[in-house]
Amino acid sequence: ALENKLVDALASSAEIEKTLTKEFGWSKTDKNYRAISYYDYALKTPADTGDSIGVVFANGAIMDGEETQGNVGGDTTAAQIRDARLDPKVKAIVLRVNSPGGSVTASEVIRAELAAARAAGKPVVVSMGGMAASGGYWISTPANYIVANPSTLTGSIGIFGVIVITDG
C-alpha cells in the first residue's frame, strides 16, 4: 500500500497511540490519549448561531397524507415548510426536489404552503435533483429561484383520468 501510494505511512497501534498522546495529551481518567468517540461527536449539535436556512426534502413519489419510506407525504412536507415559514430564525427556505410527481392533491398542498412562505417574505429556492417532473415540477413553481442540473428531467404537468364504460 505504501509502495503504491495508497497510504502515507504504516504504523502499529502502539505507534499510533504514542503519536496521538503526543498530539492531544493523556487522559488520566480514561487512561488513554484524549479523544472523543465517534458516537459522542455525532451527537453534538452546532451551537445556536441565530439565523438559519430551512431545508426541506421532497424525495420520491408525492402521496397524500404523511410521509412514508421512499415517498413524499403532502401533509408532512407542507408541515415542514410551514414550520420554517413561521420560525423567525429561518430567513430562507430551500426545497430539494427529486420526484417523478404523484398525487395532484398532495402536490397542491405542498405548492400552496411554499407560496405562503414566499408571500410571507421568505426567499424560496428550489434545488432540483435528477427529476422534478409532473407534481415535482408543480411544487417548485412558487420559488423565487429554481436551480437544476443540465441533466435534470423536469416539466410536464399532466393529468389523466379513467372513464369506465360498461355497456357495449
> Does residue 143 lie within any of the structural domains?
yes
- Asked if residue 87 and residue 27 are part of one domain, the reply reads no
Domain count, the chain: 2
Q: Specify if 5 maps to a domain.
A: no
DSSP string, 123-155: -EEEEEEEEEETHHHHTTTT-SEEEE-TT-EEE
Q: Do 17 and 82 have their domain in common?
A: no
In a domain, residue 162? The reply is no
Say whether pLDDT at 159 is over 60: no
In this model, does residue 161 exceed pLDDT 60?
no
pLDDT at 141: 96
168 in a structural domain: no
Based on the fold, state whether residues 96 and 117 are members of the same structural domain: yes
Mean pLDDT of the chain: 88
pLDDT tens for 102-128 read: 999 999 999 999 999 999 999 999 999
The pLDDT value recorded for residue 48 is: 65
Cα–Cα distance for residue pair 91/85, rounded to 1 Å:
9
Question: Could you give the CA distance from residue 83 to residue 89 in angstroms, rounded to a whole number?
Answer: 11
Instruction: Supply the CATH number for residue 77's domain.
Output: 3.90.226.10
Same domain, 139 and 92: yes
Do 27 and 71 share a domain, yes or no? Answer: no
**25 plus 105 within the same structural domain:** no
Evaluate whether residue 4 is within a structural domain. Answer: no
- Tell me: do 23 and 73 sit in the same domain: no
Q: Is residue 147 part of a domain?
A: yes
Asked if pLDDT for residue 168 goes beyond 90, the answer is no
Is residue 136 assigned to a domain?
A: yes
Tell me the residue range of the domain where 138 lies. Answer: 52-155
103 part of a folded domain: yes
Please tell me the pTM assigned to this model: 0.67
Residue 86 pLDDT more than 90? yes
* Euclidean distance between CA atoms 53 and 10, whole angstroms: 43
28 and 83 inside one domain: no
